[in-house]
Amino acid sequence: MLLLKLADVTKATGLGRSTVYRKISENTFPKPLQLGPGCVRWDADHLQAWRDSLQVANDNKAGEVAAQRHEHGGRPYLDARLLDS
């Protein structure tokens, strides 16, 4: 098991420190392992699984967009649900 410091996590993900902790609180990012007082590390395998899940979600979204374009004669389609009211 490879354990990563926060600096390694931010570098590997491109996310800032605040964003990492916000996503953790939203349960959308792997939680760190508490190794001692003030010492946390992230399991590299958990981060890779998170990245893989993002790729699957992006692939699924791309498939949905392609299906919408097909339904609309190949023209770009903007789903009104994506717009803020």
Query: For 38-67, how does the pLDDT look when each residue is reduced to its tens digit (9 = 90+)?
Result: 999 999 999 999 999 988 777 776 666 666
Name the pTM for this structure.
Answer: 0.67
Tokens standing for residue 81: 């649900």
- Provide the pLDDT for residue 85: 44
| Rg (alpha carbons) of the chain, rounded to whole number | 18
pLDDT for residue 84 is more than 80: no
Cα-based torsion angle of the residue sequence 1, 44, 29, 10 in order, rounded to the nearest 10 degrees: 140
Q: Could you give all domains of the chain from N- to C-terminal order, each with its CATH number? A: 3-71 (1.10.238)
